[in-house]
Each structure stands twice: as structure tokens, then as C-alpha cells.
Structure 1
Amino acid sequence: MLSNTFIPAFLTLLGGAAALGPAAVNLGTAGNYTILAETGITTVPPSVITGPIAVSPIGAAAMTGWSQTLDSSGKFSTSTQVTGDLFAADYANPTPPTLTIAIADMGTAYGDATGRTSPNFTNLGSGLIGGLTLTPGLYNWATAVSIGSDITISGAATDTWIFQVTGTLTVGSAVRMTLSGGARAANIVWVVTDSITAGSTSHLEGVFLGKTSITLDTGSTANSRLLAQTLVALQSATVTAPS
């Protein structure tokens, strides 16, 4: 049986189709949230978020800029900037234990993604990957990664990607990640040991597992889940959870 660390060049069968790439990262209940963070989620309004957002173990005071209204049940709040509910560790039960599990699942997913071995691509472009087309597989950089011009993530709908970044991940202003060949953002995982920054009017694709902060600057967009072990900071950004 193939393990979670098999070489990406191998094929697996998903729904009868041959799929390229590593075994998928299981997000567990962390995958229920468009944005999940441990120390806060801030916005310079207006941001536009599709899907629920949550903070834990910190409380609702760490969600700033949302002008949220607490529901009469005390279990969640709402905001005109979010199509979905807002959750915090100091809301009424069952929200606190539910979020504790989600945070644990986020940590497990991060550990899984960082722990994959035998990468198909190592230190590609010495961390400068602007202009490249990225095919399915496991990628590893022992350095920071900078994306200074548009990239394409190309593969079939059943293919998978894991991008392991040891250091920061920086996406330049107006730089776009584009999917081709049927590639799905839900099958793309960026796991980053330091901060993640998307410049103004840039566009992201995939699930972002950040050891520290995730920042989306003015006018940036993301077809993404943003799962951070510290803060997610948005400045008039648009984030939609990938299907």
C-alpha cells in the first residue's frame, strides 16, 4: 500500500481516473472554515468573505474591523462582510469545544503537510518561481519563496499539489495564480513555516497552512482557505473557500 509520503510521480486511482501527486492532506474540521486563526482575524473594510471564519483559543475581541453582531443564541455572530457565521472561543457552547477540535485538526494537517518526504521538486528556481507552470507533485524549498510574476498550476481535477516552504511566502502585487487543465484549488496545499503575504490586487489559489501570519493586502483575492497559527490580516480583500 502506498503511504502518505509516496513519490508524486506514482499514479493513484481516484474515481477510476489516474491521479498525479501526493496523497491529499486531511484538514479535518479545520476545513469547515474559510479563515481559521489562533490569535485574531482583522480586516480593513470592506472585505468580502464567503464561508465561516473563526478564532480560537482567543476570544471575539480579536476579530476586528468586522462590526459583527452577536446572535441571540450567543453561539456565533454575523457581519455584512461575511456570507457565513463568525465564531470565537468565548461564545456559547458548543462553539468553544468545536473550535478546540478545529484548531487541533489544523495543527495535525500542518504536521502532515510539513512531514511529507521524498519531494519531486527540491528548491525549484532557488525559491524564485514567478513565471513557472507547476505540475502535480510534492515541492520543497529550504528557503523563502517569492512569486514576482504570474504562475500557473496545471493538472487534472483529481491531481494534488503540496508546496512546502521553509521561510516566508511572498506573492507580489498584481501577481496571479492561475489554474489550468481542470486543477482544483481544494487539492493545492501551501504549507509555510513563516509568514504568508499577498501583495495588493494579487490572486491566490489553494489551501494555505501558515505557521505564523497570513496577510492579504488591498484588493487581493483568494480562492482559498486561510488557516493560520497566529493572525490573518485582510485589507479590503476577497476570500472564497474553494470547492
Structure 2
Amino acid sequence: MAFQAPRHGGNTSARRIRRTLRRTAGLLGLAGLLAGSAASPAAAAPAAVGLGTAGNFAVLGGSTVTNTGPTVVRGDLGLSPGTSVTGFPPGQVLDGTTHVADAEAAQAQADLVLAYDDAASRPADASISGDLGGTTLPAGVYTSASSIGLTGDLTLDAQGDPNAVFIFQAGSDLTVGSGSRVLLQGGAQACNVFWQVGSSATIGTGSAFVGNILALTSITLTTSATLDGRALSRNGAVTLDTNNVARSLCTTPPAAGTPTGTAATNPGSPAPAAAGPPAGTTSLSPGTGTGVKKKAPATSTTFVRATLRVPRVCGAGSGMVAIKGRGIRRVDFLLDGRRIARVTRRDRSGNYRTRVRVARGQAARVSARVVFTKASGARTRILRLSVRRCKVARVNPRFTG
């Protein structure tokens, strides 16, 4: 069944779109929601910074990535637009892939720019100055007009909220002294800690650092430093030396208790499968849409497809495509048949997702190849989303067949 939104403006068109979506969703056995234009109330606590495809990377550089010694990187390692990655081996990339000046690395850099700008634009809850060593901080946004330094221990206390978010904004450098640590307590998770650095970040010898480093220029991890998070450099080099870098994942809330130097989960382990039958979710802006489903012979792969068209009056379009289901091993996202991202880990909402951009006035076909394990075999699910208007449409199908 195909659906084309009315081309007329005004409230009448909005009502027609809603009626058509409800009718179509009912016929197909899907759940549809057309989001209104009113903004939701701002949350009291900061939301996590969306990393997009950059979240797949434990290390991402702009100019070069260099390593000395037996460094272990858990998660993808990428470089774009530079082309020189050295020191692997003896360094190892586990639970991930190396991407050098390819489409995946370029997309991750584009998403990193968005994440960096998002983190930098968050309104501050408090200003910080001097050294953070010996302090305990609750969730919030902390800003420094100049550099941020850490000598000793910094404790981040989630106060029992596993979704608590900590954002640090440094106007220039981030400098972590030798042997320093970031400790998590009260259910805090490393995946929810973000360091937006206006220049370069240096993590000292033997230190145990936590969080996602989003640096404008270079990131240096000196000898034997560990990072439970990500080292993401926009324009500069990432320099490693006998380090352990593990991409942090948000999973089951950890128990509150005494501070620890690492996240409560093992970042190198696969995320547990989501409960419930396989499902597809799209959240694409702007537009309206429909969904259809059909069965296919049992295989190990299922497909979800969506189509985007952004009207010229809307400007360029950008939205997240997310897949959620049980037993998923990986999701390949494609734009007009070209793979733009491979996602092998779920986000904290249980979604495998990536950001899709469509140029003004351009029509694009978005598809997702979902590989998952199921004893009875897999079925093909196809979702088509046709974007026609400057509205936000969400189609949340539940595939039960």
C-alpha cells in the first residue's frame, strides 16, 4: 500500500496526514505517530550527547593515528581525512574494524562535528576553574573558559541514576596528570561522560580516565594510560603508547556503591539482546510515512527499508534511523544502495542507529540490512517512508509475523 501526503499547507493538511497515517497503520497492523511541532519541556538534567556513527569508534583521528607498544583498542579505529595509521601491529584492534579514509570514517567525522557542537552549546550548570583533583561532582554541565586540569582523583556521582549525564566543556586544553583517575559512583556510567575540548587533550602516564573525549585538535594518551570511553579527534592526531582504550557502552544499570575506576560493564562484551520480537523503528525528519511488512524464506538476514524526500522549502534533512530487535548481531545502513555505516553495538536505548542526511530537494532510499540470530530463521521486514512535508513523522512498526 502506498501513501502520498497532501501537498496543501495549513492545518487541514496536517489533519489529513494524521487521519491517513492512523488509517494506514491500522490496516497494516503497525503503530504510527505523527509528532506535532510543539517542543517538549526541557528536562532538568542534561541529555546524553548523541554520537551517531562516531559512537562505533573507540579511536577516531583527523590527521593521523600513531601507536607505540602493545596498545589494545576495543571498538572501531578510524581516520579521516588523513590516511596514515601506524603502529598496528604491535597494537591490536579487537571487537572492531579499522577504517582509513573510507565512507565509514568520513561519516563518523561528520557525526563527530555534530556531537562536538552539541556538547559545546549546552548551557552550563556551573563554572569550574583550577584542578578537579579531590572533588566529587553530581551530574550536570561544567564549563571552563580556559583549560581543565586533573591531578589526583575526580569522582562522578550519579546519585542512584544510571542515566545521569556529565558534560565538561574546556575552552582550550584538557590535561590529566600521571596516575590520576576518574572514579564512578552512585550508578554512573562511562558512556554518559563527555569531555568537549576546545584544543588538545593529554592523558598522563598510568592514569585511568573515563568518558568520551571530543577534541577539536589532538588527543595524546601517554604510556600505560587507560581510557574507558572514546578518543575522538576532529582535526588532529591521536597518539597512543601502550594503552587500553575500550569503547564504553550503556547497558544494565550498575549497582550504586563505592567509587570504581571503570564502568560497571565490560565495554568489550556484546550488549545483551533486547526483549521482545524483532522490530523496526524509524525517526526521520521531516515528513510523513507508511509501513508495510511481508514474509520471506528463512535466512539469517532481514531487511528494513525507508525512503526520504526533503522538499526544497525545508532545506537539507537530517534524521536518525534506528533498528531495534532481539538477537541482532549487526546492522548495515545503506543510502541509495551505498553502505554508510555498520553498527554492531546498541545504544543505551537498545537501538542500533545512525544519522542520515539528505540534500535539499533530493530523494533518497534508505535501507538497513539486519543480521540476527533466531532459531526459527529470519523473515524479511520492509518499511518504506516517503517524506513530503516539513513535519516530523515517526513510524514505529512491531513485526510479529
TM-score by length of 1: 0.82
Gaps of 5+ in 2: 1-39, 250-401
* 1:232 matched residue in structure 2: 238
Mapped contact 1:134–1:153 kept (Cα < 8 A): yes
Q: Residues 63-212 of structure 1 correspond to what in structure 2 (within 5 A)?
A: 63-67=85-89, 81-83=92-94, 84-89=96-101, 96-117=102-123, 119-122=124-127, 124=128, 126-155=129-158, 156-212=161-217
Higher radius of gyration, 1 or 2: 2
Mapped contact 1:38–1:57 kept (Cα < 8 A): yes
Give the SS at the match of 2:105: helix
Gaps of 5+ in 1: 11-20, 68-78, 90-95
* 1:2 matched residue in structure 2: 41
Mapped contact 1:49–1:239 kept (Cα < 8 A): yes
Give the SS at the match of 1:53: strand
What one-letter code is carried by the residue in structure 1 that aligns with 2:112? M
The Cα offsets for residues 185-229 of structure 1, whole Å up to 9 and x where unpaired, read as 111110000110011000111111000111011111010111101
**Aligned mates of 2:74, 2:62 — CA distance in 1:** 20
Give the SS at the match of 1:127: coil
Mapped contact 1:135–1:153 kept (Cα < 8 A): yes
* 2:62 matched residue in structure 1: 38
The CA RMSD measured in Å over matched residues stands at 1.3
Give the percent of matched residue pairs that are identical in Structure 1 and Structure 2.
37
Mapped contact 1:45–1:66 kept (Cα < 8 A): no
Give the SS at the match of 1:29: helix
* 1:217 matched residue in structure 2: 222
**Aligned mates of 2:200, 2:208 — CA distance in 1:** 17
**Aligned mates of 2:190, 2:144 — CA distance in 1:** 20
Mapped contact 1:127–1:143 kept (Cα < 8 A): no
Say if 2:248 is the partner of 1:242: yes
Mapped contact 1:205–1:222 kept (Cα < 8 A): yes
**Aligned mates of 1:171, 1:38 — CA distance in 2:** 22
CA deviation after TM superposition for structure 1 residue 80, in Å: 5.8
Give the SS at the match of 1:34: strand
Size of the aligned set, in residue pairs, is 206
Give the SS at the match of 2:53: helix
TM-score by length of 2: 0.50
CA deviation after TM superposition for structure 1 residue 101, in Å: 1.5
Mapped contact 2:182–2:208 kept (Cα < 8 A): yes
CA deviation after TM superposition for structure 1 residue 160, in Å: 0.6
